[in-house]
């Protein structure tokens, strides 16, 4: 994201002072500091930069206790997915360096109320979104994509090599069109979840698309155990050899691939086949500078279920363009673009090539044994190419 000029980061707008109900609250009620003192350094003694940060809500709890209590259990606050993966791979949470690392590298990414509703997050050096106005709905570009820009935002807006923006983005939809406040705050469930894919309620294609009324034969029962993204996503980013350095996470290599695998998530067993990506992990991810090992690294797959935000109606695996004698172009569904085409699947030979080129470790072969799959066989008479 472009750097915001320093004065705009802290400039309180007249619109906020005139129209936002929070403007009736004195500055020092939330931010502390010393009222009536000059110069700035004297006024800012004891200043609280983000009054919403303390204990998952800070002063926001005074008026919004129910929302704050729910937010404290949300994935955005707990970052439970990171902790869970560390434990699952045998990481020692009693190690003297674990919690300092987790606080510095993982918890540092968790959101505060203010970082979604008032300012941009710390990851992009903060700054007001709209002159200190409290925005009920976060700004997609300045809040959501500020944190989720490297993959999700880039996919959604088509800012990847050879990419095309998600069909929902092209139609003017935003993150909040699918991800509502109840999902973000865990407000309906009132419980803590171990991973983002366990959160309920959560975004689902069937919120808008009733497949029981679909006239597309590919939406029939034979594909009811196939994730929607398998047919409607395109290439996504995979990351290899991630290292949690003291200054931040460093990923050695990335690639853009589209791979279908067997579903590695036992807790999301509604699908047999899903889109998978190599997650940013390696046996040495936490070794420097914290000397934290992952002795059971292969306890979980490194090619994991993905839900890419680059949905297309027509994709290389579900259709092809035909041109008639008059030069008219028509897109038709083609079963055998996917059936019989190993190039779309996480095969043993594909992993062999990654290991040979040093992108994956040999031990990862066993970790992904239950994800590896070949393409289903060709279907006779179904538009073979």
What residues of the chain score a pLDDT lower than 50? 384-385
What's the angle, vertex CA 181, arms to CA 18 and CA 10, rounded to 5?
Answer: 40
Pick the closest to residue 230 from 373, 25, 47 (CA basis): 373
The tokens for 259 are 């791979």
Sequence-ordered list of residues with C-beta below 8 angstroms from that of 26, at least 6 positions apart, any chain: 35
- Please state the domain extents for the chain: 1-9+58-203, 225-385
Q: Which long-range contacts (CB under 8 A, 24 or more apart) does 95-102 make?
A: 95/290, 95/292, 97/290, 97/291, 97/292, 98/290, 98/292, 100/290, 101/244, 101/286, 101/290, 101/292
Q: According to the model, what pLDDT value does residue 1 have?
A: 64
DSSP-based three-state secondary structure for 260 = strand
CB contact burial 116-128 (16+ within 10 A = b; e otherwise): bbbbbbbbbebbb
The radius of gyration of the chain's CA atoms, rounded to the nearest angstrom, is 24
* 119 neighbors 105 (Cβ within 8 angstroms): no
- Give the global pTM: 0.90
Supply 116's token pair: 């979604």
State residue 246's pLDDT score.
67
Whole-number pLDDT of residue 360 = 93
pLDDT at site 217: 78
pLDDT digits (tens, 9 = 90+) for 51-87: 999 988 999 999 999 999 988 888 888 888 888 999 9
Number of helices (H) and strands (E), helices first, in the chain? 17, 7
**Contact between residue 282 and residue 249 where contact means Cβ atoms under 8 Å apart:** no
In this prediction, residue 385 carries a pLDDT of 45
Task: Evaluate whether 50 touches 114 at the Cβ level (below 8 Å).
Answer: yes
**In sequence order, what DSSP letters do the residues of 186-221 get, joined into one string?**
TTTT-S--SSGGG-SS---GGGT--GGG---GGGSG
Question: Tokens at residue 323, please?
Answer: 């041109």
Q: 298 CB contacts (<8 Å, ≥6 apart)?
A: 363, 364, 366, 367
Residue 87: which of 109, 108, 112, 106 has the closest Cα? 106
Strands annotated E in 44-125: none
What distance in Å separates the CA atoms of residue 380 and residue 335, rounded to the nearest whole number?
10
E strand or H helix at 29: helix 27-31
Q: Give the CA distances from residue 344 to residues 145, 199, 235, 248, 299, in Å, rounded to whole numbers and listed in that order.
A: 28, 29, 10, 33, 25
């Amino acid at each position: 994201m472009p750097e915001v000029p320093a004065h705009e980061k802290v400039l309180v707008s007249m619109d906020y002072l005139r129209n936002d109900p929070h403007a009736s609250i004195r500055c020092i009620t939330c931010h502390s500091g010393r009222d009536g003192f000059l110069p700035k350094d004297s006024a800012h003694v004891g200043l609280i930069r983000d009054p919403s940060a303390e204990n998952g809500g800070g002063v926001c709890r005074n008026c919004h206790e129910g929302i704050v209590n729910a937010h404290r259990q949300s994935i955005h606050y707990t970052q439970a997915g990171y902790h869970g993966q560390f434990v699952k791979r045998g990481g020692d949470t009693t190690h003297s360096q674990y919690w300092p690392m987790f606080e510095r590298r993982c918890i540092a990414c968790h959101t505060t109320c203010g970082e979604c509703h008032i300012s941009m997050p710390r990851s992009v050096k903060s700054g007001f979104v709209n002159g200190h106005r409290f925005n009920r709905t976060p700004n997609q570009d300045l809040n959501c994509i500020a944190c989720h820009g490297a993959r999700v935002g880039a996919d959604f807006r088509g800012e990847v090599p050879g990419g095309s923006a998600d069909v929902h983005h092209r139609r003017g939809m935003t993150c909040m069109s699918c991800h509502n406040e109840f999902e973000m705050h865990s407000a309906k469930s009132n419980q803590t979840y171990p991973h983002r894919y366990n959160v309920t309620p959560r975004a689902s294609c069937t919120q808008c698309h009733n497949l029981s009324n679909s006239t597309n034969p590919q939406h029939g029962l034979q594909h009811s155990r196939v994730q929607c993204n398998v047919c409607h996503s395109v290439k996504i980013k995979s990351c290899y050899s991630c290292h949690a350095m003291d200054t931040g996470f460093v990923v050695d290599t990335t690639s853009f691939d589209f791979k279908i695998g067997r579903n590695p998530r036992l807790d999301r067993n509604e699908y047999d086949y899903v889109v998978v990506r190599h997650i940013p992990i390696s046996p040495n991810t936490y070794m420097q500078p914290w000397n934290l090992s992952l002795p059971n690294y292969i306890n979980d797959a490194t090619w994991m279920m993905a839900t890419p935000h680059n949905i297309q109606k027509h994709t290389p695996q579900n259709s092809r363009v035909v041109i008639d004698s008059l030069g008219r172009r028509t897109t038709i569904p083609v079963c055998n673009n996917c059936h019989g085409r190993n190039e779309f699947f996480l095969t043993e030979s594909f992993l062999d090539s990654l290991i040979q080129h040093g992108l994956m470790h040999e031990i990862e072969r066993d970790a992904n044994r239950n994800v590896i799959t070949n393409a289903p066989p060709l279907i006779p008479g179904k538009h073979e190419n």
